[in-house]
Amino acid sequence: MKIVKALLPLSLLLLSGCVVGPDYQAPNAALPAKFSQGGHAEASDVTLTPWWEAFRDKKLNSLVAQGLGENLDVQQSIERIMEARANVIIAGAGGLPQISASGSGSIAGQDGSYPRNSSGRSHSETKTIGGGGDASWLVDLFGQYRRAKESANASLDAAYADVNVARLAYLSDLTTSYIQARYNQEALALQQKSLASRRETLKLTNDIKAAGAASSLDVVQAEGLVNSTLAELPGYQTGFNQAANHIATLLGLPATSVTAGLIKGSSQPSPRYNTKIGVPADLVRNRPDIRKAERLLAAATASIGVAEAQLYPSLSLSGTIDGSRIVASAASGGLSSWSFGPSLNLPIFNGGRLKANVDVAKSGAQQQYLAWKQTVLNAVEEVENSLVALRNNYQTVAALRKVVDSYEQALGLARESYKGGATSLLDVLDAERSLASSRISLASGIRDLANNYVTLNVALGGGGAIEAAGQ
């Protein structure tokens, strides 16, 4: 009964305990009502949108699906969730009662020759069995452990968001690497086509020279153009192999593991521009890096309360129970003891360390707020830049297609005129160079268009929450 009376005031004190430190409030950023190239309508949740399917490329779709479960960066981020979950348990354990128990046993004896018993030997033996328990509870008067658990939970949320950050990075890297591989294949095929055309021109020049209408200089110039084309081919082959090797690494496989599956070329990926842009405020909801930064800000804010709680007194309740049983040859008996009581710790002088810890926590929270704000502004910039680039890419590709058509006609006319002796070989060689250059420029334009489409969707947070099948 006396123990109950002693605990009652302490229980009331516990119930009335306060939580120091600032309560977290989600930050706000002043964002424009719309993007410069968009409308005022909000977009739906794009985090589950498989935007890469707009390329209509089955091989790309299969690579994306394979890598979502095998990419090592994504797997590492998932493991960080496990770590964060354990930290939540650790943070909350400090505010709970701690109980431990112990036990021991021993046996002791003594042999001698005096005094003698009936057998001629003297013998005594003692058995001791003991056990005990300890209990302690650091009363969370000022919310130190509540704030610590709040910080750990926010860090756990940040770890979940970090998985989606890793997925977006994987999707961006894989699709752009695939686009680069297909570009090099296309450029290689175009240069081989140009090589065949230039060899045809060289044969025509040799024929005209045999007829006495062309000079050795004409032949040498035609040969030079053939050799310059041959010199460009290995670079595109190297570019393809490097892109394929990087794709294998992204899939968690050794380099060259996917090269054979990509050698059978297909057309360059070219998307349909049907992305729903939404408004800048959508980014706060859809971008995982913004959500991660916001959750880290919440964790840093809660850490201020942890530091401030250490400025105030702390109260601990502790008790012990010990018991033992002794069995001897002459007699036996038991002994037990117990103790219980509170202890109060007052931080009086610590050289300003505890106050400095609060300042450190406040500065950390302010830094995290600035990081969150910078992440939001960077996200808006990325969307704006990709929107402008994508719009201009469509115009560039359309114009380059017309350029290629024009130079194809020009080459045909120049070759016919050269056969008839109306023009020089230089006109044919110039037309071939212009056509080859325009074809490569068109392939580069299509690659840039696809890359900016990827950049736009990643900047919007598209597909970041899509998990691998069975994950």
Structural domain total, the chain: 2
Last residue of a domain, one of 328, 346, 364: 346
> In the sheet where 98-112 sits, what is the strand order?
98-112, 122-139, 314-328, 332-345
Burial of 108 (0-12, 13-18, 19+ CB in 10 A): exposed
Residue 235 inside a domain? The answer is yes
Question: Do 152 and 447 contact (CB within 8 A), yes or no?
Answer: no
Residue 3 inside a domain? The answer is no
**Vertex 383, ends 365 and 177: CA angle to 5°?**
100
Residue 468 inside a domain? The answer is no
- Domain match, 222 and 276 both: yes
- Domain match, 431 and 338 both: no
pLDDT one digit per residue (tens) for the chain, 471 residues? 444 444 445 554 544 457 888 999 999 988 988 988 877 777 778 888 999 999 999 999 999 999 998 899 989 998 999 989 898 888 877 777 777 777 776 776 665 555 554 555 455 577 777 666 777 777 778 888 889 899 999 999 999 999 999 999 999 999 999 999 999 999 999 999 999 988 988 898 898 888 887 788 988 989 999 999 999 999 999 999 999 999 999 999 998 889 999 988 788 999 876 788 889 999 999 999 999 999 999 999 999 999 998 888 877 777 787 766 676 665 566 667 777 767 777 788 778 888 999 999 999 999 999 999 999 999 999 999 999 999 999 999 999 999 999 999 999 999 899 888 888 888 889 999 999 999 999 999 999 999 999 999 999 999 999 886 656
- Domain match, 322 and 188 both: no
- Domain match, 118 and 25 both: no
Q: What is the pLDDT of residue 270?
A: 92
User: CA–CA distance from 140 to each of 127, 147, 205, 306, 398 (Å)?
Assistant: 43, 10, 94, 11, 69
Quote the domain boundaries for residue 67: 16-95+141-311+353-459
Last residue of a domain, one of 321, 346, 371: 346
- Domain match, 188 and 203 both: yes
Residue 42 inside a domain? The answer is yes
Q: Which of 326, 20, 7, 19 has the alpha carbon at shortest distance from 135?
A: 7
Residue 245 inside a domain? The answer is yes
Rounded Cα–Cα distance for residues 90 and 150 (Å): 12
Residue 448 inside a domain? The answer is yes
- Domain match, 167 and 112 both: no
- Domain match, 439 and 404 both: yes
Rounded Cα–Cα distance for residues 83 and 6 (Å): 40
**Vertex 84, ends 78 and 88: CA angle to 5°?**
150
Residue 1 inside a domain? The answer is no
- Domain match, 115 and 258 both: no
Question: Do 400 and 438 contact (CB within 8 A), yes or no?
Answer: yes
Question: Do 15 and 264 contact (CB within 8 A), yes or no?
Answer: no
CATH number of the domain at 199, please: 1.20.1600.10
- Domain match, 120 and 265 both: no
- Domain match, 247 and 283 both: yes
Alpha helices by DSSP H, 251-280: 259-263
C-alpha distance across the termini of the chain, in Å: 56
Which secondary structure element, helix H or strand E, spans residue 431, and what is its range? helix 425-459
Question: Do 198 and 434 contact (CB within 8 A), yes or no?
Answer: no
Question: Do 352 and 381 contact (CB within 8 A), yes or no?
Answer: no
Question: Do 429 and 225 contact (CB within 8 A), yes or no?
Answer: yes
Last residue of a domain, one of 326, 346, 366: 346
- Domain match, 179 and 268 both: yes
Rounded Cα–Cα distance for residues 272 and 380 (Å): 22
Question: Do 206 and 226 contact (CB within 8 A), yes or no?
Answer: no
Tell me the whole-structure pTM to 2 decimals: 0.85
User: CA–CA distance from 190 to each of 3, 103, 195, 197, 437 (Å)?
Assistant: 91, 83, 9, 11, 10
Burial of 365 (0-12, 13-18, 19+ CB in 10 A): buried
Q: Among all chains, which residue has been given the structure tokens 């736009």?
A: 456
Strand partners for 126: 108, 328
Residue 284 inside a domain? The answer is yes
Express the helix, strand and coil content of the chain in percent, nearest 5 each: 60, 15, 25
- Domain match, 52 and 181 both: yes
